[in-house]
Amino acid sequence: MAYTRKNWYTFWNADASHPTNRNKQVFDICPLVQFTYKQLKTDMQKCISEVKSINRKEQCAARKRTGAMDYNELKIAMRKFIQDVEQDKDLR
């Protein structure tokens, strides 16, 4: 499932070695970084800070195109991912 926003292309990606493990579900922020469900659930703000740091270092194409990134959009996508993982009855 994709969680595309104006400035971000994000999607849900399962860890192939643990496809039904809830904590191993991956939130992919393409092409920057990936976070597991557990990382986002434990400390979303730390994950946002890491994305900000990568953006500053990498000067990614999206940032050049749009100027300042909207991190609130990214938080909305992260929260939706967490909600979807929690509602998936096939995950344990």
Domain ranges of the chain: 9-87
Mean pLDDT of the residues in the chain? 85
Q: Rounded CA gap, 57 and 30, in Å?
A: 16
Which of these, 36, 26, 65, 34, lies nearest to 51 by C-alpha position? 34
pLDDT of residue 3: 67
CB 76, CB 6: distance < 8 Å: no
Q: Which residues pair with 6 in a beta bridge?
A: none
- CA dist., res. 55 & res. 62, Å (int): 9
Check: CB of residue 2 under 8 Å from CB of residue 8.
no
Give per-residue pLDDT as tens, 41-86: 999 999 999 998 887 776 655 545 445 568 888 999 999 999 999 9
Distance, CA of 80 to CA of 16 (rounded, Å)? 22
Strand ranges across the sheet with 25-30:
9-14, 25-30, 33-36
